[in-house]
Amino acid sequence: MAEPAIHTSGLSKRYADVDALSDLDLDVHQGEVVGYLGPNGSGKTTTLRLLLGLIRPTSGSAEIFGLDCQRRPVEAHRRLAYVAGEANLWPSLTGSETLHLLGRVQGQVDAAYRGELIARFDLDPSKKVRTYSKGNRQKLILIAALMARPDLLLLDEPTSGLDPLMEQAFRHSVHEAKERGQTVFLSSHILSEVEALCDRVGILRNGRLVDMGTLSDMRHLSALTVEATFDGSVPDLSRVPGVSSVEVEGRVVRCQVQGTVEPLLKVLASSGVHELLSREPSLEELFLAHYGRSTDPGTGSLEVPALGG
Amino acid sequence: MGESAIVTPAPSGRWPRTVVARETARRGVRSAVLWGVIFGVYVTESATGYEGAYKTSGQRHALAQTLGSDVGISAIIGPASHLDTVAGFVAWRTLGVLTVVGAVWGLLAATRLLRGEEDAGRWELLLAGRTTRRGGAAQALTGLAGCALVLWAITAVIAVAVGRSSSVHIDGRSALFLAVADVSGAAVFLAVGALTSQLAPTRRQAASYAGGVLGVAYALRMVADSGAGLAWLRWASPLGWVEELHPLTAPRPVALVPIVGLIAILTVLTVQLAGGRDLGASTIPDRSRPPTRTMLLSGPTGLTVRLVRPVVIGWVVAIALAGLMLGLIAKAAGRALTGSTAMRKLVSDFGAHGAGATTYLGVAFLMVALLLALIAAGQVGAARGEEAEGKLDHLLVRPVSRTSWLAGRLSVATGALVIAGAVAGVTGWLGAASQDSGIGLTNMVAAGLNLVPPAVLILGVGTLAFGIRPRAASGACYAVLAWSFLVELIGGIVNASHWLLDTSVFHQMAAAPAVAPDWTTNAVLVALGVAAAAIGGIVFRFRDLAGA
């Protein structure tokens, strides 16, 4: 097996009295598309800057394709491209001058693909960067990264400032990269984006990786969402084993079920249920399971108080 | 964490209508306080230095005779009258230096607080509140006025305190007026900077437009004070009006009328232009679609050349003009040096001897050395700016090592310094040769290049600071520079101890072309600079990149 695209062990970064990142053990295999989710300030950018060697770890180590990120950054950078969430470029250069410069510095450019990307992202490269909107500057650094066709793409909230149409163009480009066997590490707080693109997801909270797995691995952590409509009176579901977060709206009850659904089904069957909907939790709900509650860790349920019933 | 963040109104929310004014004043007040203290110290030092150095009326009389009739001194600092009194000396010496220093401070502060804040996108946040573009500009000007007031108040307090001392004897009212005169250059150029902030598309451009205005104003004042029968030109330059205030000797408050009038006009224009343009846009059109030029854009060093080129060209032009001007007046000014004990002392403090055009240029090139050092400090600031603004990230996440980026920047900066030094020598020679001063081209070019080592030392010290305390890099350069220049000025007039003089980066520099450049000492200065830069570079390699 080839060496992992990204490998970190015990990677930590401490600023004064804040642990920006604690003890991160992460492996991203070649050809994978991995999502890196967390709210603002959870340590996503810190992780990426450590991987890029822009900042130094307090402890632990990180490697890109087996190359130490601190000791051999230049060699590691030959194989990757990075897109920052904030595109602070040189305002006096035009778009095409910027692409020319970044291509030359990178050392590899697929010129035909660059043209395709410029068309896809609908960018006018003849203008000065100063006159670009935030979205246009973001497109520019996205194109600069993608046009190099690197083995590894490190993306830090790359779609900030892009409109939905351009987000589609971005997703298309990530799919393309994946088909070509490129590895993608995508930090984001946009759940639908990660859900649509990623094979595996890591969830980061307060500088700690609290979960890592495929989307289906993650789903068991959360509850099944069940919505039932009753003919007559609404039964009290809050005492049914495994059921939580009961919400009642007229004759409709919405709740979360953890583990087996059998006890709930028994109660429903004897209560004249008229309509029953159940679905897998979305990544939104997975995310809320980790961030949206204050107590009760591990159940993955949403602490929404039951509205009567 | 994020989920519990609740927006609470800040205490400043009590007066939302003045938030821009207060924010501008808050951002500017620190440097106003710092410069107020420097102004005050300079006034104090002028008074006490004079008291100490010229004790008898005979000495004072001799000083007044020599300096007072010196055309070169008059052109550079301003006409020296009543030098036989402490009041006359303080007025002449503080006005001549503080007006220009204050003007530079004013234009940099105004462009930083107006155009710089706008470039950084912070204006957008402020203007999204309860104000308009026009109102925002008016408020920012109020904030700048607050900064000017702080500068004046601190200068005034110190001046009044010094005036009370028994040996100096300057009454309170005169001291207050002296402070007004000393800060009026700063006030005018705060307003000039505010206006150019509306005209130019970037902070840097705004500062260079304002710098151009200052250059013209200074040149006009200089011609007027060169004794060529063009004294009326003084009324064509704001710096001339400041001179016409004649604080302490023959106060003429009426000269405040054009000063205040100009500030008022500039203020109104600033507010009008701010209201009439889009946020982030400039009044002077910025070509948004220039032709693509990729010749230099093949690597980080080429990019550096491209980025610093406009600024360096501006500096080199300024230095060329300064060299030319000094060369032109060298012969006349050198003649005045002959037979003056005070001037001979001043000259010998700089390591020069004798009299004549070469001696004069040897002393006057200290000014040019300061300009070169400013280029060096600016280059350190520019390198730090690339890091602080996150632009450096785009290079360092690619196969570019930190060392090669920094080495490239330092080479470009050093190249700029060498060019600037050589240009000063050549134009100085042109000016001197046109007056048949009998100075050789080789000597003048050597004198120009002789100015480079102190600037290289500043570059090295700045790079060391950039490695160790990146956020303090620019400040460290300007602090060393300001200190060194003050030490030279103090040492030039009064007897200062050698340990004090040795703390100046300029003091080891030989006063070429008056004496031959000391290339051994120069090599030591360069070596110190290179060593400091190397340590800074190594530290930079192993530290975290730091944002603004």
Backbone angles phi, psi at A292, to 5 degrees: -90, 0
With contact defined as beta carbons under 8 Å apart, do B367 and B326 qualify? yes
Give the model's pLDDT for residue B4: 41
Provide the strand spans (E) within A131-261.
Answer: 152-156, 183-188, 200-205, 208-214, 224-230, 243-249, 252-257
Per-residue pLDDT of chain A (309 residues; tens, 9 = 90+): 589 999 999 999 999 889 999 999 999 999 999 999 888 888 999 999 999 999 999 999 999 999 999 999 999 999 999 999 888 999 889 999 999 999 999 999 999 999 999 999 999 999 999 889 899 999 999 999 999 999 999 999 999 889 989 999 999 999 999 999 999 999 988 777 888 899 999 988 889 998 898 877 776 666 788 889 988 888 888 888 888 878 888 889 888 887 788 898 888 888 888 899 988 766 666 666 666 654 333 333 333 333 333
Q: How many residues does chain B have?
A: 548
According to the model, what pLDDT value does residue A39 have?
80
Q: Which runs of consecutive H residues, i.e. helices, occur in A243-282?
A: 262-269
Query: Which residue in B has a C-alpha nearest to residue A206's C-alpha?
Result: B1
First to last CA, chain B: 23
- Is the distance from CB of B175 to CB of B162 less than 8 angstroms? yes
Distance from CA of A239 to the nearest CA of B (A): 29
Q: Can you name the residues that pair with A67 across neighbouring β-strands?
A: A64
Q: What is the pLDDT of residue B400?
A: 96
Which chain B residue's Cα is nearest to A140? B394
Q: What tokens appear for A104 in the block?
A: 């030359």
For residue A76, give the chain B residue with the closest CA. Answer: B399
Number of Cβ within 10 Å of residue B450's Cβ equals 27
Q: Give the count of alpha carbons within 13 A of A229, CB side only.
A: 4
Tell me the angle at which helices B473-493 and B19-53 cross, rounded to the nearest 10 degrees: 30
Distances (CA, A) of B93 to B45, B72, B82: 10, 14, 12
Edge-first strand order for the sheet with A33-37 is A80-83, A152-156, A183-188, A33-37, A200-205, A208-214
A78: Cα separation from own chain's centroid: 24
Contacts 24+ apart (CB under 8 A), B214-217: B214/B100, B214/B103, B214/B104, B214/B107, B214/B189, B215/B318, B215/B321, B217/B103
Tokens of B137: 């500009």
Predicted TM-score (pTM) of this structure: 0.76
> What tokens does B497 get?
């101890």
Q: What is the pLDDT of residues B295-343, one digit of tens each?
A: 999 999 999 999 999 889 888 988 898 888 788 777 766 765 554 555 5
Give the per-residue pLDDT at A306.
32
Q: Does A107 touch chain B (CB under 8 A)?
A: yes
* Residue A97 to residue B297, Cβ atoms within 8 A: yes
Nearest one of A266, A256, A261 to A299, comparing CA atoms: A256
Whole-number Å distance between alpha carbons of A40 and A54: 20
pLDDT score, position A222: 63
Given this model, what pLDDT does residue B336 score? 57
Distance from CA of B402 to the nearest CA of A (A): 9
How many CB pairs (< 8 A) connect A and B? 108
Q: Is B190 exposed, middle or buried (0-12, 13-18, 19+ CB in 10 A)?
A: buried
Is the C-alpha dihedral spanning B477, B481, B487, B491 positive or negative?
Answer: positive
- Asked if residue A25 lies in contact with residue A9, where contact means CB atoms within 8 angstroms, the answer is yes
Both tokens assigned to B183: 């800060």
Interface of B with A (CB under 8 A): 1-3, 119, 201-202, 286-290, 292-294, 297-300, 303, 306-307, 389-391, 393-401, 542-545
Chain B residue at shortest CA distance from A291? B3
Q: Which of A88, A118, A157 to mutate to test the interface with B (most CBs of B within 10 A)?
A: A88
Whether chain B has a CB inside 8 Å of the CB on A115: the answer is no
Domain boundaries of chain B, sorted by first residue: 15-285, 297-543
A104 in reach of chain B (CB within 8 A): yes
Residues in Cβ contact with B56 at an 8 Å cutoff, skipping those fewer than 6 apart:
none
Contact B545 A54 (CB under 8 A): yes
Which residues in chain B are contacts of A154 at CB distance < 8 A? 397
pLDDT at A138: 95
CB of B112 closer than 8 Å to CB of B210: no
Q: Which residues contact B548 (CB under 8 A, 6 or more apart)?
A: B388, B389
Nearest to B297 among A101, A141, A205 (CB): A101
Nearest in space to B86 (alpha carbons), one of B21, B14, B178, B11: B178
Contact between A69 and A63 under an 8 Å Cβ cutoff? The reply is: yes
Select the residue from B287, B292, B311, B398 to test the A interface by mutation, using most A Cβ atoms within 10 A: B398
For residue B9, give how far its alpha carbon lies from the nearest alpha carbon of chain A (Å). Answer: 21
Interface contact flag, A91 B202, Cβ < 8 Å: yes
**CB pair distance less than 8 Å for B397 and A52:** yes
Cβ of A90 and B289 within 8 Å?
no
Residues of B in contact with A93 (CB under 8 A): 297, 306
Test the A interface: residue of B289, B397, B538 with most A CBs within 10 Å: B397
Low-confidence ranges of chain B (pLDDT < 70): 1-16, 70, 72-73, 227-228, 286-288, 332-333, 335-355, 489-496
A100 contact B CB<8A = yes
Of the candidates B286, B290, B303, the beta carbon closest to that of A101 is on B303
Buried b (16+ CB within 10 A) or exposed e, B242-255: bbbbbbbbebeeeb
Chain B nearest CA to A154, separation (Å): 10
Beta bridge partners of A149: none
The answer to whether A84 faces chain B, any CB pair under 8 Å, is yes
The residues near B44 (Cβ < 8 Å, ≥ 6 apart) are B158, B162
Which of B278, B303, B394, B396 to probe the A interface (max A CBs under 10 A)?
B394
Question: Which residues on chain A are in Cβ contact (under 8 Å) with B393?
Answer: 54, 84, 88
Q: Which helix or strand (DSSP H or E) is residue B135 part of?
A: helix B133-164
* Cβ A265 vs Cβ A228: under 8 Å: no
Is A308 near chain B, with CB under 8 Å?
A: no
